Structure 1
Amino acid sequence: MLASERASFSMVFVKIGLVPDMGALYTLPRSVGMSLAKELMLTGRRLGAEEAKRLGLVHAIHPVDDLGLAARRFAARFVHAPREAVALTKRAVNSAFESSFEASLSTEAQAQSVASAAGYFQDAVSGFLRGEALGFDWDRLCKEA
């Protein structure tokens, strides 16, 4: 998630006598840990952008006037990303807390089988053998942005 330096975040529900919703009871403890999630949910304390970034809730902070452009540039880096690998990775990571280690290894093996059969992987290997740069190189794309 990208944020402006003026962004703030709060689990305001308790202030109005409600329980966190929209999946917050599930996602926040997994994002920041049980203790901090409870504190945030039970106090309604407001987090500034810098604290949210330190906690891993925000990926990057940008000036408010540059946020839209920064978001578009961030998204544009994924244009040439391997769709199969990205989708499979997201699905596997999203289930990581509900899976045993053994189940995660099985998911990993199945996903790797699907990804390695995709055209993107085949093209990447062929290009590598010819000495070509990878089509999706996040570090290079960040330098170019």
Structure 2
Amino acid sequence: MSENSVVLERIGGTAVITLNRPQRRNALDDTIMAAMDRIVRSIRQDRSVTAVVLTGAGGNFCAGADLGDGDAQAERGFYVRDLLQNHHTWFAALCDLEMPVISAVDGFATGAGLSVALAADFVIASDRARFVSSFARVGFVPDLALMYVLPRRVGLVRAKEIVFSAREIRADEAVAIGLAETVVRADDLRDAAIAFARRFENAPTRVLGMAKHIMNRTFETDRQALLQQEAAVQGLCAASQYNAEAVRRFFSKEAPIFPGTERLF
């Protein structure tokens, strides 16, 4: 297994994850699956990480599943089912990271690669980004949770249009329909994503993470259940050292730990 199929870097409190199979447009294979499982787990356990940037090497984000990476001896139906379930493990962990996650999309985010981009809380696109739900082109339904994350991004009818047409969506349209938050020049993409992530370095990471955890389940949680989660989490916040220091500074009229940030987009 290549140790370099995914590269992890630290820049301040930001963890930068780079899918690194540029010769295959960073298509998902067993090496990426194993590396992402390990890396996402390590980030989850590292309390010094305040945000994550996810990107791809070589001018593309991710071309989806590597269709040439199959086991010729396996029974195809069960092979595909098992493969997806194995990818679900790291993908779910990525979605559930309790910190801001930013996808920096250059070039193509295709098929399951589109799912990976939308696992983030925010998507920054380069001016040459292309978003494609390409599954229908090869006779598959969308997978890697695209049928879950896409409607939550763009609405159900727009999601159906994207899936049924299997068309390319360019960066400006992606912003217009809610698939991405902003567009920057390709040469500026990495720096822009890292600068965005570093806005959260003094933020209460665990507080944002718990808010994210609840909001990610808003559409399938009834109001009473959400209020119970809110109350329990607020109790944890009230008992935290961060809250105690933040409140002390507030009443002492000192500069806050996290003064907030300007409008994100």
What is the aligned-residue RMSD (CA, Å)? 1.6
| Inter-partner Cα distance in structure 2 for 1:99 and 1:47 | 31
Mapped pair 1:46 → 2:168: yes
Which segment drifts farther, 129-138 or 85-94? 129-138
1:101 partner amino acid: R
Summarize deviations over 1:94-122 as a string: whole Å, max 9, x none.
11111001111111111111112111111
Structure 2 alignment gaps of length 5 or more: 1-122
Aligned length: 142
Deviation of residue 45 (structure 1)?
A: 1.9
The percent identity for this pair of structures is 37
- Offset of 1:141 from its aligned partner? 9.4
Residue number in structure 1 paired with 2:236: 114
2:199 pairs, out of 67, 73, 77, with 77
Hey, which of these two has a bigger chunk of helix by percent? 1
1:76 deviation in Å? 1.1
Match of 1:26 among 135, 148, 151: 148
In structure 2, distance between residues paired with 1:33 and 1:55: 9
Structure number with higher strand proportion: 2
Change (3 A) 1:44 1:140: closer
Given candidates 188, 213, 237, the residue that maps to 1:66 is 188
Structure 1, unaligned runs of 5 or more = none
> TM-score by structure 2 length?
0.51
Report the alpha carbon displacement of residue 3 of structure 1 after superposing the two structures with TM: 1.1
Work out whether residues 199 and 261 of structure 2, in 8 Å CA contact, stay in contact via their aligned partners in 1: no
* Aligned AA (1:122): A
Give the alignment's TM-score, normalised by structure 1.
0.90
CA distance in structure 1 between the partners assigned to 2:196 and 2:221 by the alignment: 30
Note the 1:129-144 alignment, pairs <5 A. 129-139=251-261
* Counterpart secondary structure, 1:85: helix
Greater RCO (Cα-Cα under 8 Å, separation 6 or more) = 1
Q: Does 1:89 align with 2:211?
A: yes
Q: Which residue of 1 aligns with 2:97?
A: none
The equivalent residue for 1:15 is 137
Deviates more, 1:48-57 or 1:33-42: 48-57
